[in-house]
Amino acid sequence: MRFIKLFFLISLVFAIIAFSAQNYAEAISYHSFVKTVNADRQIGNPDAAVTIIVYTDFQCYWCRKFEENDLPLIIENYVKTGKVFIQFRDFPLTLIHKYAFKSAEYADCTALQGKYMPVRSLLYKYQKDWSVIGDLYYFLKTHAKGSINLKKEEACVKSGLPKKLIESNISSGMNAKVSGTPTLFIYQGLILYKKVTGYRPFPIINKILQGALQ
């Protein structure tokens, strides 16, 4: 009898989660999801002279180097001055990074709560911690300090909406010949000025951006 009750409770919990995910997917269209996520995955002035589209993988070591060493300097010197606009895209290297896709799903879902950039920073800062077992729920519970509604987050992840968006990002990246991460596409207006594959120290990125702005 005790086993039956336990089985019933477990089944009920999974049923509630599945129902919540279904309701979530029905409550927000894919188009609305993409629009909201992309709006939170960008920083700077959309009318800036130069746009950088960045393809990254949350489990990628060199992406973490870019995030910690280069990105703050790009933001300080170019984004805050209105010269550069940055858009982020997912490109999880699933063949070598077991939890890259999953982490991208959780990151994109936090965008619906306006938390993409801070959570993005946390994922890279504590990359070694969550990469061991991939428990992104516990990671957010521990490090997001109550700023994320975890029920909404879980419902979003299970809705399948972020999966569809990430697959679209991967497809667009492959079409653009992205072969590794990080990869930066630097545009002068609508014209591609430079494609940067792999990690480059800020002095190199700085020289490229100065050239793009001339």
For residues 178 and 55, the answer to whether their CB atoms sit within 8 Å is yes
Q: What is the pLDDT of residue 117?
A: 97
Domains by residue range for the chain, with CATH:
2-212 (3.40.30.10)
Question: CA-CA distance, 179 to 54, in Å (whole number)?
Answer: 13
Structure tokens belonging to residue 132: 């061991």
Averaged in consecutive runs of 10 residues, what is the pLDDT profile of the chain (214 residues)? 45 44 65 97 97 98 97 98 98 97 98 97 96 94 91 96 98 97 97 97 98 96
Q: What is the pLDDT of residue 3?
A: 46
Buried b (16+ CB within 10 A) or exposed e, 148-167: beeeebbbbbbbebbbebbe
Give the count of beta carbons closer than 10 Å to the beta carbon of residue 14.
10
**What are the residues whose beta carbons fall under 8 Å from the beta carbon of 30, sequence distance 6 or more?**
161, 164, 165
DSSP string of 96-161?
A: T-TTHHHHHHHHHHHGGGT-HHHHHHHHHHTHHHHTTT--HHHHHHHHSTT-S-HHHHHHHHHTTH
- Which residue type is seen at 95? L
Predicted model pTM: 0.85
For residues 36 and 111, the answer to whether their CB atoms sit within 8 Å is yes
Q: What is the pLDDT of residue 7?
A: 43
**What are the residues whose beta carbons fall under 8 Å from the beta carbon of 70, sequence distance 6 or more?**
199, 200, 201, 202, 205
Taking the CA atoms of residue 163, residue 34, residue 213 and residue 120 in that order, the dihedral angle to the nearest 10 degrees is -50
Question: CA-CA distance, 166 to 91, in Å (whole number)?
Answer: 7
